Structure 1
Amino acid sequence: MKILAISGSARHASTNTALLRALQAIAPEDITLDVFNGVGDLPVFSPDLEGSNLPDSVGAFLAMVSQSDGLLISSPEYVRSIPGGLKNAIDWLVSGDQVVGKPIALVHASHRGDDMLSILRTVLSTISSNFNRDLFFRLPVMKETPDAILETVKAPANRHLAEQFLRDFAFFCRNHGDSGPNSVTL
């Protein structure tokens, strides 16, 4: 099972990226979790850049999405909405077929951000018929260092829940939404 975890933050020391990397570190052996933290490297979406004009960074991103069995997305909230970099990455996906039907679930690194999550859920359910609104992993680690986040995820109770979330998402990916795994909130 190959999962692509997309960080919605362009920040170098992103809490969201650190949480995704921590999940990568504890992922069960049968799950390969790759982290994409390059939303800030993608040019602004323009239909004029599609086709033969497609920038290399966008082509690489689209290939990663296409080659994955499912997507996990973790994002900060900017002004009660989706950060521009993540929205731009999603815009690059909508005119192709890489994300249509792709299983998608959310990870969240904060105790707040519900406005952004609501908007992101609407956007993701629009672009993929297999966005799972119920499968959700929230671990409030905002403002923690990457090392502290990894240690928090590795704590026995958190690790158990994180591994279960990843197994539930892998199950969902294999069955393309035929089942409804439970939400996990810490």
Structure 2
Amino acid sequence: MTSEFWDVPVGKIAAVVTHLQMFERPAPRKIPSITAELVAHARPDLDWYRDLFTRVGGQHWMWFSRLGMDDADLSAILYRDDVQLYSVRVDGRDEGVLELDFRVSGECELGYFGLTPAMVGMGAGRWLMEHALDKAWGSKNSRFHVHTCTLDSPQALPFYVRSGFTAYHRQVEIADDPRKTGVLPRDSAPQEPII
């Protein structure tokens, strides 16, 4: 058995990215009853979006790609008719995000999917995934895909597999550490050391 180590330059972070896909909608799973609503946002306020994005993935994990975008680039994605954005609203507060990207004909990408810590552990993930599956397969699609990485919640990859996705490709991504560039606060994702 051979292995290789690759140096990650100072100021960078590295992640193993796993790509997953499915080619038909899996059988619906039983979901617990939760007091939440799925709210569509056709042209979201960008400050609202960045706040939700940060609370779902930027404080505890390393969700940073959208936070480094300027308003023009971010709105060019979010304001498209073939990109659908939803929030999980509980008692008037948005506590989760679901983004479905239909820009490639015949496919849907699960762009972003996540919940704030307040929603974890109550079955809200299964509830949200069932909504995602209904919406992805409600169109004439032949493929639904997603990718996750080792800088995300360790629950993400097994959750996607339980939801019916199959892993098919793996990559290593190296990026600037968003805590060193100011995109995320330095105390974000404390499980990942800053080097």
The TM tier, using the shorter chain, reads 0.3 to 0.5
Structure number with larger C-alpha Rg: 2
TM-score normalised to structure 2 length: 0.34
TM-score by length of 1: 0.35
Greater relative contact order: 1 or 2 (C-alpha under 8 angstroms, separation 6 or more)? 2
Between structures 1 and 2, the one with greater strand share = 2
